[in-house]
Amino acid sequence: MPSRWLLLLIGLGAFGLGAWLALGPGAPKEPETKAGYVLDEARALPALSLIDEQGQPFTNADFEGQWSLLYFGFTYCPDICPSALGVMAQIKRELDDDASINDHYFLVSVDPERDTPERLREYVQYFDPSFQAVTGEFAQLDQFTRTAGAIYRLPEERAGEDYQVAHSSTLTLINPQGRLHAVFTAPFDAQLIAQDLQQLAR
């Protein structure tokens, strides 16, 4: 997909996120964070039946008991996704000395036809050995992204592996109850997001 269409989709994603935050259930509170939008009422996720980078089933219960920071993207992404995961790695380093936060980091692949568990595992561990990844059927991904305010679009014709997936660029925070808690929009500032996570986890 030409870069101008990718940029357009990202722009529309930001616009859609604004409407989603303002009008959807659990609209944002007055700003309490430096880099993100905190929902007034944490939003329930759809029932998830995904697969992780180890090829194991992954459900909503796997988000419980921890703070999970997610990025919706794909491993063949040429620039936006590597940059975002690099920021996630910086956030993790900022929080490594804070034992009070049980933080976990995920790539949610919106390209399940190419992103096998093996490829996902190799990809995310390049950024940090503890990073995880999940993907699933398109019906599952559609529900998940819709709830999280993310957008993605695959080309209708995608023979072989030479195609790109247009997608919005946000970091999504899931709280220890397994509910959507906050969203961070690009451009990302790792230090500010880390400070926000510390504040939210208190």
- Give 108's strand partners: 72, 134
Provide the residue count of the chain: 202
pLDDT (tens digit, 9 = 90+) per residue, 139-198? 999 999 999 999 999 998 887 778 999 999 999 999 999 999 999 999 999 999 999 999
Q: Coil, strand or helix: which one is 118? A: helix
Give percent above pLDDT 70 in the chain.
Answer: 84
Tell how far CA 185 is from the center of its chain.
11
Q: What pLDDT band is residue 23 in, cutting at 50, 70 and 90?
A: very low
Rg (CA), the chain: 16
DSSP state of 55: S
Is pLDDT at 91 greater than 60 in this prediction? yes
Superfamily name with CATH number, domain 3-200: Glutaredoxin (3.40.30.10)
What is the number of H-type helices and E-type strands within the chain?
5, 10
**41 phi-psi bin (left φ>0, alpha ψ -120 to 50, beta other):** beta
Q: What pLDDT band is residue 2 in, cutting at 50, 70 and 90?
A: very low
Predicted TM-score (pTM) of this structure: 0.87
Q: What pLDDT is recorded for position 29? A: 52
pLDDT (tens digit, 9 = 90+) per residue, 34-82? 899 999 999 999 999 999 999 999 999 999 999 999 999 999 999 999 9
CA distances from residue 17 to 65, 125, 147, 177, 180 in whole angstroms, order as listed: 26, 29, 10, 22, 14
Q: What pLDDT is recorded for position 31? A: 47
Q: What pLDDT is recorded for position 22? A: 46
